[in-house]
């Protein structure tokens, strides 16, 4: 076995995706799985397609390119508003993008004309989390400026909450989105196909609410980790242990808790005060800040993370001392998943990559 290692159980991810797709379809909401946490990995993309996804989304066009080149041909949505410097690849490798700037859509139109194809647009509306989106009172004017651009189709509107400030989706802000959809349709005499209400933070709202105009969610975290981001609560019916990270012990000793010698800042410019807790059973795992967002690791019982440096994770064990070569397994939150997938030093092991075929 190679360590550190991320274990990814594709059967559980398949189950989570299928469960959310089915449950939310009862509310007339389609699920567009978001592959960014897996860097658009083709194995995961295929599992999601097998589970019933009819469109995939990612924030990076490189990831959508990877998925396209692996032979997956369902429509793809770019969920970060495009950079002007990447428009040619955006047109080439995505069918639809989330947008919040007129200038970007004008240029997308121009590039789509050059490439002789069409590109679909979802206009993002700001609903209070203050990340991307057009202010609600500016949306009608915004759409007036882009509605008749050549080679561009306005597919719908959308919103993103809970990312910057943790603003929760609720009936009130979702009604703002729904009313805007009605208004746009009335004013421009069109019908909007997609009202994309949010991300994993919207799952619980969506499962509880009655039918609204929101008919799409873009979901990553809930599929992969089985929990919702606002309160870190598990979502009923989903596996929360589809992904785990295992690292190996490279030193294990009884050591004092109090450092000695004159102290300055540590390697990361920090200086913490250290209480003297006597001697402890201390172990070092071969895993560090260069690999992972350490604060996102959830430890097994009897183990505590005390420090981390670039390449070392220092832990204490309250039970018997760990052995050299012993493996310690953690579960991960979203930031730990993102960082560990991006580390080339962490081995990725996909269990049951085929998933079950959807009947």
Ligand X SMILES: *Cc1c(COP(=O)(O)O)cnc(C)c1O
Task: Show which residues are catalytic.
Answer: 36
Tokens representing 179 are 């009313």
Which residues inside 79-98 make contact with ligand X, applying CB under 6 A?
Answer: 79, 98
Which of 64-72, 167-175, 213-221, 301-309 is the region at the interface with ligand X (rule: CB under 6 A)? Answer: 213-221
CA–CA separation, 254 vs 258, rounded Å?
Answer: 12
Angle at 110 (CA atoms; ends 104, 114), nearest 5 degrees = 140
CA–CA separation, 93 vs 75, rounded Å?
Answer: 9
Output 99 or 199, the one with its CB closest to ligand X.
Answer: 199
CB atoms within 10 A of CB 113: 16
**Min separation Cβ 185 and ligand X, Å:** 23
Among 23, 68, 100, 200, binds ligand X (CB under 6 A): 200
Residue nearest to ligand X (CB): 220
Among 27, 36, 92, 289, binds ligand X (CB under 6 A): 36
Which is it for strands 297-298 and 56-58: parallel, antiparallel or unpaired?
unpaired
Angle at 347 (CA atoms; ends 55, 163), nearest 5 degrees = 45
By CB under 6 A, is residue 109 in contact with ligand X? Answer: no
228's CB contacts (< 8 A; 6+ apart) are: 200, 201, 203, 204, 221, 222, 235
Tokens representing 113 are 């004309």
**Min separation Cβ 132 and ligand X, Å:** 7
By CB under 6 A, is residue 34 in contact with ligand X? Answer: yes
Which residues inside 218-257 make contact with ligand X, applying CB under 6 A?
Answer: 218-222, 229
Radius of gyration of the chain (CA): 23
**Min separation Cβ 65 and ligand X, Å:** 18
- Alpha helices by DSSP H, listed for the chain, are 10-25, 42-50, 61-69, 87-93, 102-114, 139-146, 171-188, 203-208, 221-225, 334-342
By CB under 6 A, is residue 68 in contact with ligand X? Answer: no
By CB under 6 A, is residue 199 in contact with ligand X? Answer: yes
Output 3 or 224, the one with its CB closest to ligand X.
Answer: 224
**Min separation Cβ 289 and ligand X, Å:** 23
Output 180 or 222, the one with its CB closest to ligand X.
Answer: 222
**Min separation Cβ 338 and ligand X, Å:** 9
Among 35, 97, 160, 340, binds ligand X (CB under 6 A): 160
By CB under 6 A, is residue 60 in contact with ligand X? Answer: no
- Alpha helices by DSSP H, listed for 200-332, are 203-208, 221-225
Angle at 324 (CA atoms; ends 322, 328), nearest 5 degrees = 55
**Min separation Cβ 276 and ligand X, Å:** 42
Among 16, 23, 35, 59, binds ligand X (CB under 6 A): 59
Kindly state the number of chain residues that form the binding site for ligand X, as judged by CB under 6 A.
14
Output 36 or 118, the one with its CB closest to ligand X.
Answer: 36
Output 49 or 122, the one with its CB closest to ligand X.
Answer: 122
185's CB contacts (< 8 A; 6+ apart) are: 191, 192
Binding site for ligand X (CB under 6 A): 34, 36, 59, 79, 98, 160, 199-200, 218-222, 229
């Amino acid at each position: 076995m190679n360590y550190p290692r991320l274990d990814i159980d594709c059967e559980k991810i398949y189950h989570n995706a299928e469960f959310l797709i089915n449950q939310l379809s009862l509310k007339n909401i389609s699920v567009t799985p978001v592959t960014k946490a897996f860097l658009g990995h083709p194995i995961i993309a295929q599992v999601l397609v097998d589970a019933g996804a009819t469109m995939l989304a990612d924030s990076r066009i490189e990831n959508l390119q990877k998925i396209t080149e692996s032979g997956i041909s369902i429509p793809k949505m770019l969920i970060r508003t495009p950079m002007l410097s990447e428009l040619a690849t955006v047109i080439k490798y995505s069918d639809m993008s989330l947008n919040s700037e007129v200038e970007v859509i004008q240029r997308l139109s121009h590039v789509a004309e050059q490439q002789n194809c069409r590109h679909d647009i979802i206009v993002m509306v700001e609903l209070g989390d203050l990340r991307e989106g057009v202010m609600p009172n500016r949306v009608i004017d915004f759409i007036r400026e882009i509605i008749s651009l050549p080679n561009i189709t306005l597919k719908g509107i959308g919103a993103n909450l809970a990312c910057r400030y943790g603003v929760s989706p609720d009936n009130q802000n979702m009604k703002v989105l729904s009313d805007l959809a009605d208004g746009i349709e009335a004013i421009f005499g069109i019908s909007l196909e997609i009202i994309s209400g949010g991300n994993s933070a919207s799952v619980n709202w969506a499962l509880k609410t009655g039918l609204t105009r929101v008919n799409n969610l873009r979901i990553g975290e809930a599929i992969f980790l089985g929990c919702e981001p606002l309160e870190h609560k598990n979502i009923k019916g989903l596996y929360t242990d589809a992904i785990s990270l295992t690292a190996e012990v490279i030193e294990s000793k009884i050591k004092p808790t109090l450092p000695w010698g004159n102290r300055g800042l540590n390697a990361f410019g920090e200086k913490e005060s250290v209480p003297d807790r006597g001697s402890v059973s201390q172990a070092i795992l071969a895993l560090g800040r260069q690999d992972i967002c350490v604060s996102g690791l959830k430890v097994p019982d009897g183990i505590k993370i005390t420090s981390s440096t670039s390449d070392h994770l220092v832990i204490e064990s309250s039970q018997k001392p760990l052995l050299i070569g012993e493996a310690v397994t953690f579960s991960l939150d979203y930031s730990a998943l993102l960082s560990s997938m991006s580390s080339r030093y962490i081995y990725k092991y996909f269990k049951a990559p085929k998933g079950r075929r959807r009947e």
